[in-house]
């Protein structure tokens, strides 16, 4: 059987996701469901739809999708505005509505790629990267496609393509370490050092993430590891959380971290998926607070980058 990966986006010319200029491959499927996620369309490891209400021409009388859904998911209110029953759509396997929508208001956001199809795209971008660039596998979480990803990574090394990954680190230890054997540069997220708060914000405990990071360092892996933490006011912006992470980093000989300032760029996507975005009115960080957190790491001899101001 031909291995296939589910991917929701491929972006060329990225300069913030690893060394040099890179091509970012965003896999669908994530073991975490962060309440502030900028890419909630990546949660499901399956094809599914999004509905861009602002693109829909219902006010102009468009009813192209009426009676198209075999499960009755799309209905119209008294004003003619479409209403989506998301509980039905999340289990859809037909996507009839997407094919008929003339304005691309209804769209299927996940595509299937074979290993060779994806590698062909990477080879196309090869000349854009320069000496330090390459490919960064992101998501969602690429570890959820580990069998597919291993095959892609092996071909990347044959072609001398530099490999990087952005991951939650939440995977079986054997899977995590196997993937990392083929990775040159890694971002691993640590959302919160308190295990209960980590689960409150992401849906999972952080035990396996921290354990995998520690195991990677003990394994003798030769790549470069940078921890990442999105900073959300009221969730993980305390000095206590920072000091716990600093202690963990020193214990495991880790000396680089990238702090990412919270943003609401994913709000529209939450709306297009029929989801409620809990951080629509809170979570924002000030530059002053970000600088303060950065100083805590710097004072403990840890290279701390804020946002895009990095050394890579």
What's the average model confidence in pLDDT over 151-179? 98
SS3 228: strand
Inside any domain, residue 184: yes
Domains in the chain: how many in total?
A: 2
Are 162 and 259 part of one and the same domain? yes
Are 255 and 300 part of one and the same domain? yes
Are 36 and 119 part of one and the same domain? yes
Give the confidence band of 304 by pLDDT, cuts at 50, 70, 90.
very high
Are 75 and 200 part of one and the same domain? no
Percent of the chain whose pLDDT exceeds 70:
100
* Angle value at C-alpha 10, between 32 and 143, nearest 5 degrees: 35
- The set of residues, in sequence order, having a beta carbon less than 8 Å from that of 233 and lying 6+ positions away, is 262, 282, 283, 284, 285, 289
The answer, yes or no, to whether the previous bond of 180 is cis (omega within 30 of 0) is: no
Q: What is the mean pLDDT of the chain?
A: 96
SS3 290: helix
What residue numbers bound the domain in which 289 lies? 4-44+111-306
Inside any domain, residue 311: no
Are 99 and 225 part of one and the same domain? no
Cβ burial of 3 (10 Å; 0-12, 13-18, 19+) is middle
Model pLDDT for residues 251-275, shown as the tens digit of each residue:
999 999 999 999 999 999 999 999 9
Its pTM stands at 0.96
Are 119 and 56 part of one and the same domain? no
Are 145 and 248 part of one and the same domain? yes
Closest by Cα among 166, 197, 168 to 30: 168
Q: Does the pLDDT of residue 1 top 80, yes or no?
A: no
Domain boundary among 87, 108, 129: 108
Look at the chain and count its residues.
312
Inside any domain, residue 312: no
Cβ burial of 67 (10 Å; 0-12, 13-18, 19+) is exposed
Inside any domain, residue 189: yes
Domain boundary among 108, 141, 156: 108
- The set of residues, in sequence order, having a beta carbon less than 8 Å from that of 111 and lying 6+ positions away, is 6, 7, 8
Are 23 and 59 part of one and the same domain? no
Chain center to CA of 12: 16
CATH number, position 180: 3.20.20.70
């Amino acid at each position: 059987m031909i291995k296939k990966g589910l991917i929701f986006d491929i972006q060329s010319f990225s300069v913030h996701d690893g060394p040099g200029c890179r091509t970012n491959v965003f896999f669908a499927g994530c073991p975490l469901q962060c309440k502030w996620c900028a890419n909630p369309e990546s949660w499901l490891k399956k094809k599914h739809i999004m509905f861009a209400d602002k693109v829909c021409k219902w006010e102009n009388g468009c009813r192209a999708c009426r009676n198209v859904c075999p499960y009755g998911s799309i209905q119209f209110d008294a004003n003619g505005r479409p209403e989506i029953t998301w509980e039905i759509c999340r289990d859809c396997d037909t996507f009839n509505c997407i094919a008929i929508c003339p304005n691309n208001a209804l769209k299927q956001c996940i595509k299937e790629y074979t290993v060779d199809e994806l590698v062909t795209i990477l080879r196309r971008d090869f000349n854009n990267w320069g000496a330090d660039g390459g490919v960064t596998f992101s998501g969602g979480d690429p570890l959820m496609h580990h069998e597919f990803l291993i095959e892609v990574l092996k071909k990347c090394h044959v072609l001398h393509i530099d490999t990087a990954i952005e991951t939650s680190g939440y995977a079986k230890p054997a899977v995590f370490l196997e993937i990392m054997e083929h990775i040159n540069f890694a971002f691993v997220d640590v959302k919160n050092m308190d295990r209960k708060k980590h689960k409150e914000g992401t849906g999972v405990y952080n035990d396996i993430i921290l354990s995998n990071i520690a195991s990677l360092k003990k394994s003798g892996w030769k790549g470069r590891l940078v921890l990442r933490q999105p900073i959300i006011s009221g969730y993980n912006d305390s000095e206590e959380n920072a000091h716990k992470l600093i202690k963990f980093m020193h214990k495991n000989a880790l000396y680089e971290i990238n702090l990412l300032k919270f943003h609401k760029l994913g709000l529209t996507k939450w709306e297009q998926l029929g989801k409620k975005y809990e951080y629509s009115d809170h979570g924002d960080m000030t530059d002053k607070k970000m600088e303060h957190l950065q100083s805590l790491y710097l004072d403990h001899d840890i290279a701390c980058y804020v946002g895009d101001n990095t050394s890579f």
